[in-house]
Amino acid sequence: MKIVIIGASAAGISAAKTIKASEPDTEVVIIAKEDRVHSRCMLHKFLGHQRDAQGISFIADDFFESSGISWLNNTTVTGLDAQNKTVKTHDNQDISYDKLLIASGASYFIPPIPGLRESKNVYGFRDLKDAQLLDRECNTAKDAVVIGAGLVGMDAAVALLERGLKVTVIEMTAAVMSLQLDQKSADAYQQLFEEHGAAFILADKVVSVDVDAVGRGRTIHLASGKAVAADLIVIAAGVRPAFNFTEGSGIATNHAILVGDDLKTNIDDIYAAGDVTGMAGIWPNAMKQGRIAAINMLGEKLLYQDRYALKNTINFFGLTTLSLGNINPQPEEKCQILIREDRNNYQKLVIKNGVVEGVIFQGNIGGSGFWQYLIKNKIDLSAKNKDLFSLSYADFYDQDPATGEYRYAV
């Protein structure tokens, strides 16, 4: 059997590994538009010059040779013929498959703001190529503007600060990383970034960009009337699943490739995993989807059920945060909020009817992994009758007598 995988990030590589571990004789071909495999979550380490391109790889140096996987890099898939089971590439190859995994990820999105898309010095921060282009700009640029203070924007900002640029971050909402943090925990990061030289303009919006004679965006105008000078602009305003090449193939889509619980599309033998499905959100879930898709492609049956994606960890300047679930409940949700803090820690639990819906732990996050289980499985804690901050996995302790693995007693 020959399995073709489009995409070489979390989902694609995880699928390839899973296939080769269980059926080494299955032929696996990975097609990727990138030059080399890299972890997009580590791009800031590349741009900040803490690591080179090899240093942000997440596979072993000899991964493709030792596992016998064919690797077609710098190759863009341009078409898909589901009848004849082939994919077409930009250089006019027709590559046949028995089963196909679409793990082509997502692309960054430039909002339709006058002057912004036209500017030649606007970059996303999604792939190694983006980071390489920014790296070149950093050699001469002085003023950097980052549009969007989500995790990607903050990653870009930390790297640009590392390179000695003057960095201004512009954000529509009133706080940084507003999907992951509440005001208090966001303020802590904003302050750290400011101490390292960043400036923030929050609750404001870019309305236009002045483009100079050579096509570079120079002045960014905001709704408030402010104007910010820019030598380079990073746009971190979200991503869109990337699946242009499936047009006309009959694959069902709705802003993303639609898949069932088995991660199969509406067409037999074609599966999808990762950001292209619009339901991965973060790296661990993309990895898991890749693994599950691979197992299903090999003819076994495994469903994607552990879908919880409202989760993240943050580590900037050594300040670590765990964020899970509903962390900014609206007053009408009538949630109970518990706060515990000291000079190094801020901890928040959001509770409704005895069930924890959200958690922020800022500072010490050691041993906090069990909270995800409690939240995603909606475990009722009202009978525990103890200080919820003192909970640990030990309160649900149980072991499988045959294997010694832990399991949950709930």
Partner 1 sequence: MKRIIIDREKCDGCLNCNIACISAHQEGSNFYTVDLQDPDAQARNFIKYDPQKGYLPLFCRHCDQAECVLSCISGALEKDPLTGHVQYDENKCAACYMCVMNCPYGVLKPDNKSRTKLIKCDFCDDKPDDPSCVKACPKKAIAVKEVSL
The tokens for 333 are 């949700």
Q: What secondary structure letter does DSSP report for 2?
A: E
Instruction: Tell whether residue 311 is a contact of partner 1 (CB under 8 A).
Output: yes
Instruction: Tell whether residue 315 is a contact of partner 1 (CB under 8 A).
Output: yes
Instruction: Tell whether residue 45 is a contact of partner 1 (CB under 8 A).
Output: yes
Query: Binder to partner 1 among 1, 58, 132, 388 (CB under 8 A)?
Result: 58
- The DSSP string of 326-361 is --S--GGG--EEEEEEETTEEEEEEEETTEEEEEEE
- Footprint of partner 1 on residues 356-375 (CB under 8 A)? 364-373
Query: Within a 13 Å sphere around the CA of 331, how many CA atoms are in the beta-carbon half?
Result: 0
Q: What is the residue whose two structure tokens read 């879930």?
A: 285
Query: Binder to partner 1 among 108, 125, 283, 346 (CB under 8 A)?
Result: 283
Where helices occur in 68-140 by DSSP H, the ranges are 128-138
> CA 285 to CA 263: how far, in whole Å?
13
**Contact yes or no for 189/171 (Cβ under 8 A):** no
Q: State which residue, 216 or 291, has the beta carbon closest to partner 1.
A: 291
- Footprint of partner 1 on residues 237-256 (CB under 8 A)? none
- Contacts for 91 with CB less than 8 Å, ≥ 6 apart: 75
Query: Binder to partner 1 among 282, 298, 355, 381 (CB under 8 A)?
Result: 282
**Least Å from the CB of residue 387 to partner 1:** 13
Query: Binder to partner 1 among 287, 293, 349, 356 (CB under 8 A)?
Result: 287
> CA 177 to CA 314: how far, in whole Å?
10
> CA 60 to CA 196: how far, in whole Å?
34
Instruction: Tell whether residue 394 is a contact of partner 1 (CB under 8 A).
Output: yes
- Contacts for 156 with CB less than 8 Å, ≥ 6 apart: 44, 47, 125, 134, 146, 234, 236
Instruction: Tell whether residue 281 is a contact of partner 1 (CB under 8 A).
Output: no
Instruction: Tell whether residue 392 is a contact of partner 1 (CB under 8 A).
Output: yes
Residues facing residue 323 across a β-bridge: 312, 360
Candidates 206-214, 240-248, 286-294, 335-343 — which segment interacts with partner 1 by CB under 8 A?
A: 286-294
Query: Binder to partner 1 among 5, 14, 127, 242 (CB under 8 A)?
Result: 14
Candidates 26-34, 50-58, 262-270, 327-335 — which segment interacts with partner 1 by CB under 8 A?
A: 50-58
Instruction: Tell whether residue 195 is a contact of partner 1 (CB under 8 A).
Output: no
Query: Binder to partner 1 among 102, 242, 270, 324 (CB under 8 A)?
Result: 324
3-state secondary structure 141-210: CCEEEEECCCHHHHHHHHHHHHCCCEEEEECCCCCCCCCCCCHHHHHHHHHHHHHCCCEEECCCCEEEEE
> CA 307 to CA 289: how far, in whole Å?
9
Q: Helix, strand, coil % (nearest 5) of the chain? A: 25, 30, 45
Instruction: Tell whether residue 395 is a contact of partner 1 (CB under 8 A).
Output: yes
Q: State which residue, 69 or 206, has the beta carbon closest to partner 1.
A: 69
Query: Binder to partner 1 among 112, 299, 331, 404 (CB under 8 A)?
Result: 404
Instruction: Tell whether residue 39 is a contact of partner 1 (CB under 8 A).
Output: yes
> CA 127 to CA 106: how far, in whole Å?
10
Instruction: Tell whether residue 108 is a contact of partner 1 (CB under 8 A).
Output: no
Candidates 55-63, 110-118, 165-173, 202-210 — which segment interacts with partner 1 by CB under 8 A?
A: 55-63
Candidates 102-110, 217-225, 239-247, 279-287 — which segment interacts with partner 1 by CB under 8 A?
A: 279-287
Instruction: Tell whether residue 71 is a contact of partner 1 (CB under 8 A).
Output: no
Q: State which residue, 58 or 109, has the beta carbon closest to partner 1.
A: 58
Instruction: Tell whether residue 68 is a contact of partner 1 (CB under 8 A).
Output: no
**Least Å from the CB of residue 313 to partner 1:** 4
Query: What count of residues does the chain have?
Result: 410
> CA 294 to CA 300: how far, in whole Å?
9
Q: State which residue, 214 or 394, has the beta carbon closest to partner 1.
A: 394
Q: State which residue, 213 or 394, has the beta carbon closest to partner 1.
A: 394
- Interacting residues toward partner 1 by CB under 8 A: 10, 14, 21, 39, 41-42, 45, 56-60, 282-284, 287-288, 291, 311-313, 315, 318-320, 322, 324, 364-373, 392-395, 397, 399, 402-406, 408
